[in-house]
């Protein structure tokens, strides 16, 4: 989390940085700030959103051709002006922005305090900055050298950008664990946490790797490792256009992204799924088919919504491929002493490809000899690069903090992987295989139909928007969808919501049911449908308010429900890709009805690059 932007070149730096920060605001919006270098170093920073900073700078002298900017998701120190980035070194000579956490900052701070340093903020960033300042002063070395020495002592994750009052053209940058992309223009360079602030200026970028240091000037980019050896920058071309990161007439990115799903799912299937010939083309899977087919176990690691996609995949892979699957929170997996046996395959799922816990969990599993298969949305991201093989979801940039289109893209990819393995293993009948291929192909059209009825979900949202709690229930394939529905509602509308397996209600949560508690059933027709209907009866008998997501043509569930929303029929393997859509819409409409900024829910950030 935290977004960083830097520019050096002939343009006015401030507008480039400001626009970039707005694009990166999904990474955190506790405070924002810029440091500009023009006859002196000026730092402007403010608690709140980038727009607040922009407003406070009206009328100020922001002229400069070099600068750095930051949008913060607070870790060390509460969100206020003082803790906002950029920070200035004690000497007043350096300004720095940072994304990540310096874990041993307390020890370094103690050392610096004993040397007489004082601190203006509570941040780990200011400690690292003064540490660099102290090394430069003490060793009488260049800034580049001081950064290198400091980073060798640092434990934790970082992407840092520094500018020096005495060197008005150069930005020094370095990363470990937190992302950094450098855009190469003609006589200018752009630096950012992801490519979105860069694409309108250049499509040529370099993804900086861990333990690399960049010395960036308008017409020069030097990459080095921490051993001071030069590295040839690997330039890649961005495959993204500007329209993909703009709202395109929608009020919020979240709504745009929900409505994009027919297209994003289609894009994910396109070129891979060939129903007529009964094939799925996925080079990443084909190259590792022997290992996948013969895996004694598949371990799925992910966080948040991606973890929910992993839970659906557990059902699908066990059902179709007969391979035991475990789904782990990356944050738990990395700190346990997990048993990873020879031949085990890890599937790492991540929208951003930058989630710190998932990234570290991958490294840990790699050390134990596992094969890593990445299911990632962001092309060229750290997780994509850390995986042995993988498949992109091709959902396009997801900017709304609540994940929507990435989830259905992940399910599309995971379903295709499962189908390919099952076919190769012979654990699926030809008829079911063909049928599921056809079902997958039909998803975009069915999602379209659901979206045409979005107004019906809006009406339900209006009715329940003032609830203080909600339960989301499902069984089988729809149980992870219930979890996802509850997560969406709590993150966007701040309503306390819990997802539960419907049958578990009787072991505790049914005690919560009252005449005012909305209970959302994800009850599309599947092999457990009758059981779910019984669970609905149990809620109705206790006068709970039942909202059901059902399959078109279901005549029983409506008699037990206060409100229903019907989705087109689909095989139970595919159904989560449909049943999740009304739940995404429900949280969106509840959140907006309550007047919340659904694209930037409080306390959250989209790309969680700290543990
Ligand atoms: C954050 C986001 C979620 C996302 C999760 C995992 O919490 O707000 O929407 O599901 O991170 O992120 P990833 O990029 O790894 O899928």
Residues β-bridged to residue 217: 220
The pLDDT assigned to 558 comes to 94
User: Is it the case that residue 610 has pLDDT exceeding 70?
Assistant: no
Position 248 confidence tier, pLDDT thresholds 50, 70, 90: confident
Residues whose CB falls within 8 Å of the CB of residue 230, separated by 6 or more in sequence, listed in order: 222, 223, 224
Q: Can you give the pLDDT at residue 19?
A: 96
How far, in whole angstroms, is CA 464 from its chain's centroid? Answer: 28
For 139, other C-beta atoms within 10 Å of its C-beta total 11
pLDDT level of residue 427 (50, 70, 90 thresholds): very high
How big is the chain by its Cα radius of gyration, in Å?
A: 25
Element (H, E) at 150: helix 143-153
| Total Cβ atoms within 10 A of residue 287 | 12
User: 454-598: same fold as 247-452?
Assistant: yes
**Per residue, what are the HEC states of 102-125?**
ECCHHHHHHHHHHCCCCCCCCCHH
Residue 364 scores a pLDDT above 80: yes
Using an 8 Å Cβ cutoff, are 35 and 42 in contact?
yes
Residue 143, φ and ψ in degrees, nearest 5? -60, -40
Residue 362 contacts residue 328 (beta carbons within 8 Å): no
Pocket perturbation via mutation, ligand 1, pick of 355, 362, 405, 410 by most ligand atoms within 8 A of CB: 355
The fold of the 247-452 domain, in CATH, is: Rossmann fold (3.40.50)
- Give residue ranges with CB within 6 A of ligand 1: 303-306, 350-352, 355, 358, 401-403, 604, 606, 608
- b/e burial code for range 42-75 (CB count within 10 A of at least 16 → b): bbbbbbbbbeebbeebeeeebebbbbbbbbbbbb
The active-site residue out of 256, 364, 446, 606 is 606
323 Cα to the center of ligand 1, angstroms:
26
Q: φ and ψ at 255, to 5 degrees?
A: -65, -45
* pLDDT category of residue 202 using cuts at 50, 70 and 90: very high
- Report helix, strand or coil for 432: helix
Average pLDDT, whole number, for the chain? Answer: 93
Q: What's the rounded Cα separation, in Å, for the pair 73 and 26?
A: 10
- The residue from 2, 159, 268, 321 that is catalytic is 2
Catalytic annotation present for 525: no
What average pLDDT does this structure show over 215-235?
Answer: 95
* Sequence spans of domains, the chain: 3-244, 247-452, 454-598
Residue 417 confidence (pLDDT) = 98
353 CA to middle of ligand 1, Å? 9
Q: Ligand 1 pocket: which of 258, 351, 610 to mutate (most atoms <8 Å of CB)?
A: 351
For 446, residues 6+ apart whose C-beta sits below 8 A from its C-beta are 567, 568, 570, 578
Q: What is the pLDDT of residues 103-136, one digit of tens each?
A: 999 999 999 999 999 999 999 999 999 999 999 9
Q: What is the atom index within ligand 1 of the atom nearest the CA of 402?
A: 9
**If you measure from the C-alpha of residue 480 to the centroid of ligand 1, how many angstroms do you get, rounded to a whole number?**
16
Output the CA–CA distances (angstroms, integers) from residue 605 to 30, 102, 332, 491, in the order listed: 10, 19, 20, 11
What does the pLDDT read at residue 608? 66
Peptide bond into 86 cis (omega under 30): yes
First to last CA, the chain: 10
Determine what percent of the chain is predicted with pLDDT higher than 70.
99
CA 401 to ligand 1: nearest atom: 8
Gap between the Cα atoms of 550 and 567, Å rounded = 6
Rounded to the nearest angstrom, the distance between the alpha carbon of 351 and the centre of ligand 1 is 7
Atom of ligand 1 nearest to the CA of 352: 14
In the predicted model, what is the mean pLDDT of residues 436-457?
Answer: 97
Estimate the crossing angle of helix 430-452 against helix 405-425, to 10 degrees: 170
Please give the order of strands across the beta sheet that includes 156-164.
Answer: 87-88, 94-102, 156-164, 167-176, 212-217, 220-225, 230-231
User: Across residues 578-603, what is the average pLDDT?
Assistant: 94
pLDDT, position 552: 96
Atom of ligand 1 nearest to the CA of 383: 15
What is the average pLDDT across 485-511? 91
How wide is the angle at C-alpha 420 spanned by C-alphas 419 and 425, nearest 5°? Answer: 95
Residue nearest to atom 15 of ligand 1 (CA): 350
Sorting pLDDT into bands at 50, 70 and 90, what band is 75? Answer: confident
> Is the confidence at residue 609, as pLDDT, over 70?
no
pLDDT tens per residue across span 178-198: 889 999 999 999 999 989 999
What are 260-316's pLDDT values in tens digits?
999 999 999 999 999 999 999 999 999 999 999 999 999 999 999 999 999 999 999
> In this predicted structure, what is the pLDDT of residue 76?
75
| Distance from residue 396's CA to the centre of ligand 1 (Å) | 15
- SS3 for 191? strand
- pTM score, two decimals? 0.81
Closest residue by CA, ligand 1 atom 8? 606
Percent of the chain topping pLDDT 90: 81
Distance 406 CA to ligand 1 centre (A): 10
CA of 182 to the centre of ligand 1 (A): 24
The CATH code for residues 3-244 is 3.60.20.10
Least confident range of 60-74, 176-190, 238-252, 415-429: 238-252
607 CA → ligand 1 middle, Å: 6
Structure confidence by residue, pLDDT tens digits, 2-34: 899 999 999 999 999 999 999 998 888 889 999
Give the contacts of 427 (CB within 8 A, at least 6 positions apart).
Answer: 320, 321, 322
Phi and psi at 260, nearest 5°, equal -75, -10
- The first and second tokens of residue 238, run together, are 């961005």
In this structure, the number of other CB atoms found within 10 A of the CB of residue 602 comes to 10
More confident residue, 581 or 244: 581
446 Cα: distance to centroid of ligand 1 (angstroms): 26
Q: In this predicted structure, what is the pLDDT of residue 59?
A: 92
The two tokens of residue 80 are 């206020």
| Ligand 1, pocket-test mutation among 194, 311, 403, 600, most atoms within 8 A of CB | 403
Would you place residue 245 in the very low, low, confident or very high pLDDT band (cuts 50, 70, 90)? confident
Q: Which two tokens stand for residue 280?
A: 């799925």
Phi, psi of 182 (to 5 degrees): -115, 125
Could you identify the atom of ligand 1 that is nearest to the CA of residue 355? Answer: 15
Whole-angstrom Cα distance, residue 593 to residue 416? 37
Mean pLDDT across 74-100: 90
Which CATH code of 3.40.50.10490, 3.40.50.720, 3.60.15.10, 3.20.20.70 fits the domain covering 454-598? 3.40.50.10490
Assess whether 2 carries a catalytic annotation: yes
**pLDDT, tens digit (0-9, with 9 covering 90-100), for 506-524:** 888 888 888 889 999 999 9
Question: If you take atom 7 of ligand 1, which residue's CA is the nearest one?
Answer: 304
**Unique residue bearing structure tokens 């006068």:** 543
Q: Whose CA is nearest to atom 2 of ligand 1?
A: 606
* Spatial distance between the Cα atoms of 479 and 484, rounded to a whole number of angstroms: 9
User: What is the pLDDT, as a whole number, of residue 242?
Assistant: 77
Once rounded to an integer, what is the mean pLDDT over residues 474-502?
Answer: 95
For 148, residues 6+ apart whose C-beta sits below 8 A from its C-beta are 213, 224, 226, 228
Q: Which residues contact 295 (CB under 8 A, 6 or more apart)?
A: 323, 343, 344, 345, 371
């Amino acid at each position: 989390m935290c977004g960083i932007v830097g520019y050096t070149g002939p343009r006015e730096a401030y507008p480039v940085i400001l626009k970039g920060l707005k694009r990166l605001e999904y990474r955190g919006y506790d405070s924002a700030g810029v440091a500009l270098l023009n006859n002196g170093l000026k730092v402007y920073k403010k608690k709140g959103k980038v727009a607040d900073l922009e407003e406070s700078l009206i009328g100020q002298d922001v002229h400069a051709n070099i600068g750095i900017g930051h949008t913060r998701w607070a870790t060390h120190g509460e969100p206020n002006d003082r803790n906002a980035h950029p920070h200035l070194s004690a000497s007043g000579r350096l300004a720095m922005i940072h994304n990540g956490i310096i874990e041993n900052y307390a020890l370094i701070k103690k050392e610096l305090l004993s040397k007489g340093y004082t601190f203006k903020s509570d941040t780990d960033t200011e400690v690292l900055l003064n540490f660099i300042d102290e090394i430069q002063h003490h060793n009488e070395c260049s800034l580049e050298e001081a950064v290198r020495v400091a980073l060798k002592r640092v434990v934790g994750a970082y992407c840092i950008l520094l500018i020096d009052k005495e060197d008005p053209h150069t930005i020094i940058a370095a990363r470990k664990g937190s992302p950094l992309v450098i855009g190469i223009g003609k006589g200018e360079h752009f630096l950012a946490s992801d490519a979105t602030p860069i694409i309108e200026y250049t499509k040529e970028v370099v993804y900086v790797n861990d333990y690399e240091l960049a010395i960036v000037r308008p017409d020069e980019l030097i990459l080095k490792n921490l051993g001071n050896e030069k590295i040839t920058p690997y330039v890649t071309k961005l495959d993204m256009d500007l329209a993909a990161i703009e709202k395109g007439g929608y009020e919020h990115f979240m709504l745009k992204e929900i409505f994009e799903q027919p297209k994003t799912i289609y894009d994910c299937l396109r070129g891979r799924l060939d129903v007529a010939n009964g094939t799925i083309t996925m080079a990443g899977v084909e190259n590792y088919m022997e290992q996948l087919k013969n895996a004694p176990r598949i371990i799925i690691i992910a966080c948040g919504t991606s973890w929910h996609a992993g839970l659906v995949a557990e059902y699908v892979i066990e059902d179709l491929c007969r391979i035991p699957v475990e789904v782990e929170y990356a944050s738990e997996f990395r700190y346990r002493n997990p048993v990873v046996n020879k031949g085990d395959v890890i599937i790492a799922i991540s929208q951003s490809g930058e989630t710190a816990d998932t990234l570290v969990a991958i490294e840990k599993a790699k050390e134990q000899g596992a094969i890593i298969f990445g299911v990632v949305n962001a092309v060229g991201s750290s997780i994509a690069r850390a995986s042995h093989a993988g498949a992109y979801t091709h959902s396009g940039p997801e900017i709304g903090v609540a994940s929507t289109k990435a989830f259905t893209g992940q399910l599309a990819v995971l379903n295709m992987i499962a189908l390919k393995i099952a076919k190769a293993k012979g654990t699926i009948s030809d008829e079911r295989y063909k049928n599921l291929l056809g079902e997958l192909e039909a998803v975009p059209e069915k999602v379209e139909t659901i979206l045409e009825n979005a107004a019906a979900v809006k009406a339900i949202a209006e009715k329940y928007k003032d609830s203080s709690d909600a339960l989301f229930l499902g069984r089988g394939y729809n149980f992870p969808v219930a979890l996802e529905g509850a997560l969406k509602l709590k993150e966007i509308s701040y309503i306390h919501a819990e997802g539960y397996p419907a049958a578990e209600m009787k072991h505790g949560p049914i005690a919560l049911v009252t005449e005012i508690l909305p209970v959302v059933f994800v009850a599309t027709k599947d092999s457990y449908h009758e059981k779910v209907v019984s669970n609905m009866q149990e809620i109705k008998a206790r006068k709970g308010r039942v909202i059901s997501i059902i399959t078109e043509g279901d005549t029983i569930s409506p008699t037990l429900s206060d409100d229903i929303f019907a989705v087109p029929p689909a095989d139970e393997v595919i159904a989560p890709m449909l049943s999740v859509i009304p739940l995404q819409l429900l949280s969106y409409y509840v959140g907006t009805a309550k007047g919340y900024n659904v694209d930037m829910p409080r306390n959250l950030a989209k790309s969680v690059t700290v543990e």
